[in-house]
Every structure is written in C-alpha cells, then in structure tokens.
Amino acid sequence: MCQGLFQQPQVATEAACQSACVKEARCPMWQYVTQATPNQCWLGYGSMCQHDSSSNKFIQVGGAQRLQHGEVRVLASVANFEILNMYLLGVLAGCQGQDCIDRCRDWCYSDIGCQYWQYGANGCYVDAPYKTSPKQVEYPLTASGISTTSTAAHTMVAGEYIQHYCPPSDATAAPTAAPIATPSALPTPLPTASCNQDTNFHTGTNIASNDASHSNAHTNANPTANANPTANPRTNVKVRKFRLGCLRLG
C-alpha cells in the first residue's frame, strides 16, 4: 500500500474511488484496499508504493492508479545542477536505470503543483511544497535557488522544468443544415410577395480554460501538508474543465 494517502470512508466501491480521484484535479492517486471490512478507498499523492515494509506487505489492494490531469509542457532541462528545497522521494524500489527516471518524472507529472523534478545518485527529487514547508523552491527560480557545486549537483543526470495546463476541448461540430425542399414541392408565390428564410445557428462555447499564469497555477494548486485532497470540492466546474480523455492512467 502506498504511503501519504487519506482514507475516504464515504466512498464504498472501487469504481466510486477511481471516479472521486478523476474528478478532483489535485488527486494524483487512488487506491482501493480489499482486505479491510468494509473495503477502503484511499486518495492522495502517494509514495513508497513499491516499498515492502512490515506494515503494508500483507495489505491486499483491489485496484490503484496514478493519474495525470491535463497535459504537461516541458519548458527546460534542469540536469547537472541541484534545485534547492526539493523533496527527496529517494531511490525508487523495483526499478533500474531509465525506468527509475521515468517513474520520478511521472510522479511530478501527476501532481499539478509540481514544477520541477530531478534524478540523481540519491534518487528522485520533486517540487512538493506541502512536504518541504516552510522551505520551498525559489519562485521565480534564479541563481540563488540552485547549487552547481554540491555533491548532489554533480550527480543529477535528468530533470525538467514543466508547466501543467488544461488542453482546449474538442471543437464543436458544425450544425447540420436543414433539408431543402425540391422545386416541385414549393408553393407558387404570389406576384407581390417576397420571402426570406432566416436560419439560426447555435455555436458551442469552449469552456475549458488554460492556466492564465504559471505563478497562479503553482500557488493555487498546492493543498497544505495535512489537506484532504477531496476536502474542498470544485464549486464551479466551468472555471476549468478536465476531460477524462486527457487523463493519462498509469
């Protein structure tokens, strides 16, 4: 069982557990435990999922996923130096080489508050203010927020500076034209009459919004360290629309 999750006692089924996480943009992971009676739904950031400790090695999990809400744009590579005040997830269990790097990247991609990830000799580093508070990665990041001389800096082999965004909705299909009557079916017009046909079209509106600014997305996306990821449900779904089709399931 993964660490760093919050139990949701009001969720009774595996499908409802998955749906609760899919609908909450701040929920990167869900896990459904079938060993307990009744079964249990757990949501949150999730870490140490492959760690085989005595406290969780016998826990039976019926289903679990790490989700990516929206899309990610890579802004820059951040290898070969250390970003200060990152959270160390450590060496990931059950992987080797590039697979470990990919899993570190995916962890950051799944958290809409994570702007940076790095991988080095000590393992995976991620931008997770709720874990490192009151210390945080400098924003905006400047030379004072990094180190090029530390031991960790010399071992950073991979890393990215990323931006999370919600892609636009699919274009609305054009309305279907009304059928036109054949000439033989048209009535004979009166000599003094004229006729104009008005056609009204309804155009769909794209309500999915991109992040207005990177700083606002970073500030608003992070819950506090003890926050329940479903404690503050979205009250206006038209402000930002996340489509199931833009979720990457892992």
pLDDT at 60: 85
pLDDT at 72 over 90: yes
3-state helix, strand, coil in the chain (%, to 5): 20, 25, 55
pLDDT at 175: 53
Q: Considering only residues 231 and 109, tell me which one the structure prediction assigns the higher pLDDT.
A: 109
pLDDT at 36: 80
pLDDT at 4: 75
pLDDT at 157 over 60: yes
pLDDT at 170 over 50: yes
Q: How far is CA 219 from the centre of its chain?
A: 15
Are residues 128 and 113 in contact, defined by beta-carbon separation less than 8 angstroms?
A: yes
pLDDT at 33 over 80: yes
Residues 6+ apart with CB under 8 A from 176: none
The pLDDT mean for the chain works out to 74
What percent of the chain has pLDDT above 70?
63
Are residues 108 and 163 in contact, defined by beta-carbon separation less than 8 angstroms?
A: no
Quick one: which of 46, 51, 52 has its CA closest to 64?
46
pLDDT at 50: 60
Task: Go through the domains of the chain in sequence order and give each one's CATH number.
Answer: 3-68 (3.50.4), 71-167+208-249 (no CATH)
Among 12-26, 131-145, 235-249, whose mean pLDDT is lowest? 235-249
Are residues 25 and 68 in contact, defined by beta-carbon separation less than 8 angstroms?
A: no
Please tell me whether the overall predicted TM-score, pTM, comes out greater than 0.75 for this model: no
